Amino acid sequence: MRNFKATAAFSGTAYHGFQRQEGGLKTVQGEIEKAVYKLIGERVTVNGCSRTDAGVHANGFVFNMFLENSIDCRGLQFGLNGVLPPDISILSVEEAPPDFHARYNCRGKEYIYLIHNSEIKSPFYADRMYRSWYPIDEKKLDRACKAFIGEHDFKAFCAASCDKEITVRTIFDYSVSREGDVVKFTVSGDGFLYNMVRITVGTLLFINDGKLAEDSIPNIIASRDRARAGKTVPPQGLYLNRVFY
């Protein structure tokens, strides 16, 4: 039995996240597992590097699975792409050591969040970006977001339903930039709490709108109080961009 490591990209619009769920909800994991069975007739469990919320996308989602079939990496990649839905693509496949696990061996992740900052909506961005008509000062937010970098207790930046006892995480880097009407928030770290990226972006938007001071993030972190932080922005602007091993 061989262990295959694969990287996928997907649009999360039609899915209830990556991880398989009860009740027959449509998930990315479920579609990949069905595709493997259709291709080679094996029932497999796909191990994803992360869960994703409904509507969240991925540019470089890593998973692994064990197969008995003699298919090679190229055959697996192209074969899966031939049977998967058009909103899921296998970017690469390679054999991995038997002890490799996409989740447990992960050393960090990078997310991006995209905002279409325009008064006029785009029909092409509807499910790919969050739209905010209010002018965004990306330079101001790039300064403010640096306060997230480092090891901190991010209790104030996770959803109330988050069940993690340990809420300390390390952010490697955070930046805000603009390309035309698109503002991009890029954040990398060793791990993220439930809704953490979306709440940090929402907090930065509160700073942009004058609802919070530019230097307020350290005090919000210290408070550990979710009510002190900003809103949770919608999922359609969020992408799991890269996974580090």
**Helices 196-208 and 138-145, axial angle in degrees (round to 10):** 130
Q: HSE of 121 in the Cβ direction (CA atoms, 13 Å)? A: 6
Can you name the residues that pair with 8 across neighbouring β-strands? Answer: 61, 90
Q: Which of 53, 87, 137, 153 is catalytic?
A: 53
Contact between 221 and 152 under an 8 Å Cβ cutoff? The reply is yes
Q: Active site includes 53?
A: yes
Burial 92-126 (b: 16+ CB within 10 A, else e): ebeebeeebebeebbebbbbbbbbbbbeeeeeebe
Contact between 7 and 61 under an 8 Å Cβ cutoff? The reply is yes
How far is the C-alpha of 214 from the C-alpha of 207, rounded, in Å?
6
How far is the C-alpha of 19 from the C-alpha of 34, rounded, in Å?
13
How far is the C-alpha of 220 from the C-alpha of 163, rounded, in Å?
20
Catalytic residues, by residue number, are 53
